[in-house]
Structure 1
Amino acid sequence: MSDEEDASPAALADLARAGFLMARQSLMQVNFEVHHVRDRAGYLRELFDRRAVAEHSPTPGAGRGRNGGTPDAAPPVAERPRETLSSAANGVGLVIGTYAGALPRDMQRRRQGSDLPVALRVDHVSPDAWVFQGTAWPNPAFIYETGQKFEGLILVEERTTRWSSFQSRAIAELTAVISRIAAEHKAPLLSLHAPVQMPARAEAREWPVPSVVAVRFSIALRGADAQRRLALAETLADFAGTRGYGFWLADTRAGHRQGNWYLVRPYDRSKVEQYADWTGCADLQPRYCLPVTFVGPARVGSTSAIMAYLREFPELGVLACSIISLDDLAFIHLQLAVNRLPAGGIDEFEVELLRRIRSAHVDTTQGRTSSPQELLPEILPLVTGNGNGRPGVEKLARLTERAGDYQSLTGPTMLVRPGEGSDRIPLWFSWRAVGTDDGLATPLIAFMDALKAIGLAPAGSGVEDARHHPNLDYLVCRDVGESMLRGRGKISLPRHILHQSPDTRPNVIGARISTSLEDAWRAELSRHALPGGVEISVAWVEYRLNNSTTLM
């Protein structure tokens, strides 16, 4: 960095912000909790309910079993999270929460030294739910609260029923390309998600599909001029054009809401199919995935270093990803496609996987987490079926430099259902509340109660067929400063609810459902006393949300 850059107002502002945060906190650490779960309706609500019970119970975590009998092993109870990400894809769910406060006593005893993270606590709640608790040192100089960003969406496949290994490898390649371009421009990668919903057309005659095989991303460009934005757009447009992918850019004009998009490169199905045939994996369909989440200080280039290493195994696919920074920590979540199972099937695969994970730990008695450079060489040959893969020294050195202090949260292996949800419809919602401990839980619980109040969710205990339940596809809640929390999410509803109205035009029934749900949500919130009140919005397309924010 040159002397001029060192003295720039942006650099001084970053330094001042970092100093303020360090002075405000007696111990620079962020506690986190990550759930890798089989996606099912009501999981997040149950998690918040357990938190509420634990606050008034001398035996936190205790609860009745799923059938009302003996207690199940419940996930550990931590503080209520503030900054949160929840996503679901292919039948696999992810919940991430960060919170302040002291760690539980058993976690404090695992402290390994002032320069090392606390050893993880891993709770194998069930074969379909693993919960990780730990802490990490944030990077308070990482800036993601910026109104100047470069946001785009690249479409790989719009037919959700045509999933194959090609789509998962395309997501892996796109994630690597986008993160590399951000790193080359020394720009923070704010978020990257796949699969996602297509941009909605104002004149659409059909309700949009909740998610397709596409990657949506956001890059911070503080002080970027038009020439730099144009260079980024041209680079990505050229790449999309060679593959036949569709490419959209978000409308960043002042006064325009998030969710408006410009088409830059149209989708070319024939070119995509030609490229898929050339790769030779158009007919292979993944059946299992291995969820992996990397956690560490948010910094430019960490995602790029991880993805560059993964791309040394070209047959590796990523079925879904959720990459975001929360509380100055980076969370890089990937659903790695399992290409090949051993002769003994999934059981033998799990045994071998656990053996390799343990071999990556320096101290297995303490359950120490492994870093990416320790874990990936062990598990990638197993996941891809390529035992001859030998990533280059440069890729390993880059991985160690940019993400060597990250923690790797791995497992369990899960059956996937790619492309499910095509018979559902999306609905967007958002809120803004004063940043108390209830600023996340209370609005979200009230929203879920409102769904039941107007008949969009069964009123029972949740044991009914999941096809009749709304599903939380995406949720992010952040502390945006000035004691304010902002949340934004998308649910998918069973398509059969459209038959309850004589008029099935999206703009008509969408407006009716959105207005009814918003009124019911407001009524549910009136039963709770949140200081400062809550601003809420519900819409059937993203750009119609009233309190959209560029920080989501």
Structure 2
Amino acid sequence: MRELAAGSTFLEAVCSATNGAGVVIGTRTRKPVDGAETVEADDGPQRAEPPQPTDDGWIFRQAAWPNPTFIYESAQTFEGLIGIDPGAREVGDWHGLAIRDLTKEIAEAANLGGAPLLTLQCPAQLPIIVKTRNHDLRTRKEIAAPCASLAVRFSIALRDTSVAKRFELSDRIHELCEKHGFSFWIADTRPAHRPGNWFEVCHADGQFSPLYNGDIRSRQRISTCLPVTFAGPARIGSTHAIVSFLQRYPQVGVVGCSGSTLADLAFVHLQLSVQGVAAERLNRILGKLLGEQSTPARPRKLLRELFNRLGLKPDPVESGPSAPDPAIDYQSFAGPAFAYRPHLMPDSLAVWISWEIARQDRSLDAPLDCLYRAMAKVVPRLSGEQEPRSLGDVATVEYLICRATEQSVVRGKAKLAVPRTVLRWFSTGGAEPAASKLCVSLEEAWKSEVEQSAVDGVSELTVAWRESWLGHWTYS
């Protein structure tokens, strides 16, 4: 992550939250645009920096150097969504193994096509649930899927945008999903179909992958989560290299992930589950490791040393010449670990938002400040709460992407998790769903807050309970 300099200019940000913890990653220029200076890269050895505690969490700071040759056209992508266990109410050890193995297969599919893996997200929202009575379309009813399910959403940049290449990718992943018993959707790329429209490729009725039935221990609930983030020049194969290394350790799973590129830098954030290791012991060993002067910062070296001190042994690998590691120069940010807190996924409603603002220092916080003030006015008190709390106090950001464009405009898109009890305020009967009434009221209140604020250049404000209903200029 680029160093935060006083008076520096905001560029881009990505945010992800799951299992009771979240990560916010931002990039800034070293100095204001009008005072930019040339800085030489430091190619010498670097060590992992320990986190700095704050009231809201921990902050990691480090410099990373972008790869200026990494260029892709965002419109030329292959986007997919794989459901692992949609009905799960808590995360088990087998989920971590399945997400880890699935992520590796997705990254490998991108590598074989010589294409970069652009985005990676888990958990993710599944497509809208459509119900009919006796297949009568006149009784068609659409229901919002749970806000977050055990599913992996990804997008791959295509150098070859031919139909044959798309079929090759979809067939490979389709075969994988049928083998594991997973469901699979691909993004609908027909004209006028925006992000959030999906085409179902295969449907899975089971909830437990037949490939993870061998070990009864894998069915136990996870106990510890270790957040780790890897940052470095965006290049093909870096995610695959990191996850392939993790796959050598049978006790280590991935229970949440978020990957994206910001300003030509790749960020791969993983929540690792380590079977049989308590959070207290993990933090004690990790703290001692990060406090040493010789602590390595490179992903494989840091993880290998950490796992070795935890007593985890890797599976043997075939001898032979080792392939180049695309993530060999990445920086690693690890911990602190925390005890897993079950998240009741079906009890939250996903509310999608998007906005646009003229590029300025407050490109991220200004629109969101107005949004949270609007939520507090739309729903001032939630029913069933012991203490008076507004919607603005309980709504959480589960996913956010904010990018600066060449037109001096910053565009943002986010998914909020709000308690379904909020819908009681809007269940007044009629044909319009309560979720739609909530979104309309929130969008109007948001626009009003922006107009009353002193922030200029905010526009294209949209609130919807379906991702595909957001404004036209939104990012995946």
Looking at structure 1, the residues matched to 75 and 18 of structure 2 have their Cα atoms a distance apart, in angstroms, of 29
Contact 1:248 1:264 in 2 (8 A): yes
Q: CA RMSD in A?
A: 2.9
Q: Which amino acid aligns with 1:170?
A: A
Looking at structure 1, the residues matched to 407 and 399 of structure 2 have their Cα atoms a distance apart, in angstroms, of 25
Counting only pairs closer than 5 Å after superposition, residues 115-514 of structure 1 correspond to structure 2 as 115-116=43-44, 122-125=50-53, 129-201=57-129, 203-204=140-141, 206-269=143-206, 272-341=208-277, 346-358=279-291, 362=294, 370-381=297-308, 386-387=312-313, 389-390=315-316, 397-398=322-323, 401-455=325-379, 469-503=394-428, 508-514=433-439
Counting only pairs closer than 5 Å after superposition, residues 29-44 of structure 1 correspond to structure 2 as 31=2
Q: Which amino acid aligns with 2:198?
A: W
In the alignment, is residue 85 of structure 1 matched against residue 85 of structure 2?
Answer: no
Counting only pairs closer than 5 Å after superposition, residues 514-525 of structure 1 correspond to structure 2 as 514-525=439-450
Looking at structure 2, the residues matched to 212 and 507 of structure 1 have their Cα atoms a distance apart, in angstroms, of 26
Contact 2:90 2:344 in 1 (8 A): no
Q: Which amino acid aligns with 1:386?
A: L
Q: Which amino acid aligns with 1:487?
A: G
Looking at structure 1, the residues matched to 362 and 272 of structure 2 have their Cα atoms a distance apart, in angstroms, of 34
TM-score for the superposition, normalised by structure 1: 0.76
TM-score for the superposition, normalised by structure 2: 0.87
Looking at structure 1, the residues matched to 45 and 127 of structure 2 have their Cα atoms a distance apart, in angstroms, of 40
Looking at structure 2, the residues matched to 518 and 181 of structure 1 have their Cα atoms a distance apart, in angstroms, of 40
CA drift at 1:113: 6.6
Contact 1:430 1:547 in 2 (8 A): no
Looking at structure 1, the residues matched to 23 and 430 of structure 2 have their Cα atoms a distance apart, in angstroms, of 33
Q: Which runs of 5+ in 1 are unaligned?
A: 1-29, 34-75, 104-110
CA drift at 1:441: 1.9
Question: SS of the counterpart of 2:213?
Answer: helix
Question: SS of the counterpart of 2:61?
Answer: strand
Question: SS of the counterpart of 1:253?
Answer: coil
Residue 546 of structure 1 corresponds to: 471
CA drift at 1:517: 0.8
Between Structure 1 and Structure 2, the one with more helix by share is 1
CA-to-partner distance for each residue in 1:471-503, whole Å, 9 max, x for gaps? 111111011322121100011111111222334
What fraction of aligned residue pairs are identical, expressed as a percent? 33
CA-to-partner distance for each residue in 1:433-485, whole Å, 9 max, x for gaps? 22222222211111111111211677xxxx97799611111111011322121
Moved more, 93-102 or 540-549: 540-549
Contact 1:257 1:548 in 2 (8 A): no
Question: SS of the counterpart of 1:143?
Answer: coil
Question: SS of the counterpart of 1:498?
Answer: helix
Looking at structure 2, the residues matched to 223 and 434 of structure 1 have their Cα atoms a distance apart, in angstroms, of 34
Counting only pairs closer than 5 Å after superposition, residues 7-156 of structure 1 correspond to structure 2 as 31=2, 79=8, 81-102=10-31, 114-116=42-44, 122-125=50-53, 129-156=57-84
Contact 1:296 1:403 in 2 (8 A): yes
Contact 1:498 1:504 in 2 (8 A): no
Question: SS of the counterpart of 2:219?
Answer: coil
CA drift at 1:126: 5.5
Contact 1:357 1:375 in 2 (8 A): no
Contact 1:156 1:214 in 2 (8 A): yes
Q: Which amino acid aligns with 1:283?
A: R
Looking at structure 1, the residues matched to 431 and 331 of structure 2 have their Cα atoms a distance apart, in angstroms, of 44
Looking at structure 1, the residues matched to 237 and 307 of structure 2 have their Cα atoms a distance apart, in angstroms, of 21
Question: SS of the counterpart of 2:326?
Answer: helix
CA 1:466 to 1:236, structure 2 compared with 1: closer, same or farther past 3 Å?
A: farther
CA drift at 1:78: 8.0
Contact 1:372 1:404 in 2 (8 A): yes
Looking at structure 2, the residues matched to 505 and 519 of structure 1 have their Cα atoms a distance apart, in angstroms, of 20
Question: SS of the counterpart of 1:443?
Answer: helix
Residue 24 of structure 1 corresponds to: none
Q: Which runs of 5+ in 2 are unaligned?
A: 33-38, 131-139
Q: Which amino acid aligns with 1:83?
A: E
Corresponding residue pairs, total: 456
Looking at structure 2, the residues matched to 302 and 394 of structure 1 have their Cα atoms a distance apart, in angstroms, of 21
Looking at structure 1, the residues matched to 9 and 472 of structure 2 have their Cα atoms a distance apart, in angstroms, of 24
CA 1:548 to 1:157, structure 2 compared with 1: closer, same or farther past 3 Å?
A: farther
CA 1:445 to 1:482, structure 2 compared with 1: closer, same or farther past 3 Å?
A: same
Looking at structure 1, the residues matched to 64 and 431 of structure 2 have their Cα atoms a distance apart, in angstroms, of 45
Looking at structure 2, the residues matched to 531 and 304 of structure 1 have their Cα atoms a distance apart, in angstroms, of 42
Question: SS of the counterpart of 1:133?
Answer: coil
CA drift at 1:128: 7.5
Looking at structure 1, the residues matched to 429 and 204 of structure 2 have their Cα atoms a distance apart, in angstroms, of 28
CA 1:334 to 1:414, structure 2 compared with 1: closer, same or farther past 3 Å?
A: same
CA drift at 1:141: 1.7
Looking at structure 2, the residues matched to 474 and 456 of structure 1 have their Cα atoms a distance apart, in angstroms, of 24
Looking at structure 2, the residues matched to 457 and 477 of structure 1 have their Cα atoms a distance apart, in angstroms, of 30
Looking at structure 2, the residues matched to 506 and 281 of structure 1 have their Cα atoms a distance apart, in angstroms, of 48
After the TM superposition, which segments of 4 or more aligned residues of structure 1 sit over 6 Å from their partners?
A: 117-120, 463-468
Looking at structure 2, the residues matched to 273 and 181 of structure 1 have their Cα atoms a distance apart, in angstroms, of 21
CA drift at 1:331: 0.4
